[in-house]
Amino acid sequence: MKKVTLIGMLLLLGACSKVPPGNVGILVNLYGDSKGVQMREVGTGRYWLTPNENLYLFPTFTQTYTWSLKNNEQIKFQSVEELSITADVGITYRITPDKASLLFQKYRRGIEEITDIYIHNMVRDAFVEESSKLPIETIYGKGKADLVNAVQHKVQAAVLDIGLVVEKVYLVDDLILPDAVVASINSKIKATQMAEQRQNEVAQSTAEANKEIAAAQGVAQSKLIVAEAEAKAIKLKADALKDSASLVQWQAVDKWDGKLPGVNGGGVLPFINIK
């Protein structure tokens, strides 16, 4: 009797399933006319399952997954020139608790299989579609972030209605390109940088030359202004001397020391016209 009771308890425990915190459970009927998802989520707790029921767990906290070359899950895509590119890609997502049954109903898989197969394919297809519009130099250079953002938005839109919220798609490491392509891109980047450096040097030399020219023009203009002022002063003085005899006579008297010359042949005082 005790053995029977013990076996019964073990069977009951075997039929008991638990939904741990941070998860939501989906009940599924395995047989009969009601075979399939029961279209209801169950929260944290223990549940007694009939032989016809199974419980799938879906985490509701943020999940992080990486598809890498190390695990042979890397993402491959091509540029507009059909050059092959390989990338280790990461994703973070979470499941909306009240839509977990929709997610299971669509894929009929647990979250790990959904991530490994379906979400992986979504991300890959988005990279293939978006990268095929871009040249390799854009993907490898400044356009890399724009490419990843475009992929993220496309995947977000594809899974939002089935209860999957994609928070971020990102590159885990540098893009992997053929060595010849990397060498060619680096060579072109170096040439562009050298050309920009030369342009900067020419611009700097031109600016310095213009500065010196401006300084010389300033000195010349200053000398011209002084010369014109001196010439004008001389002319004014000459005009005054020419037009005014009394001024000439006054200047002579102003400089006379008051002594008469020792010899005066004509009897006339020099420089003075007395009327």
Compute the distance between CA of residue 206 and CA of residue 102 in angstroms, rounded to an integer.
69
Tell me, what's the pLDDT at 77?
94
Q: Between 253 and 219, where is the model more confident?
A: 219
- pLDDT exceeding 70 applies to what percent of the chain? 73
* Mean pLDDT of all residues in 170-181: 86
pLDDT digits (tens, 9 = 90+) for 35-61: 666 667 888 888 888 887 888 889 989
Tell me, what's the pLDDT at 4?
43
Q: Which of 18-27, 60-69, 207-216 has the lowest mean pLDDT?
A: 207-216
Interior/surface letters 135-152, b for 16+ CB within 10 angstroms, e for the rest: ebbbbbeeebeebbebbb
Asked whether residue 221 carries a pLDDT value surpassing 90, the answer given is no
Q: Structure pTM?
A: 0.60
- For the residues of 129-169, what is the DSSP string, one character each? HHHTTS-HHHHHTTTHHHHHHHHHHHHHHHHGGGTEEEEEE
pLDDT digits (tens, 9 = 90+) for 85-119: 999 999 999 999 888 888 888 888 888 999 999 99
* Count of CB atoms situated within 10 Å of the CB of 93: 20
Architecture of the domain spanning 63-177:
2-Layer Sandwich (3.30)
- Provide the residue ranges of all domains of the chain, joining segments of one domain with +: 2-58, 63-177
Query: Which pLDDT band, with edges at 50, 70 and 90, does 148 fall under?
Result: very high
Q: Between 27 and 32, where is the model more confident?
A: 27
First to last CA, the chain: 170
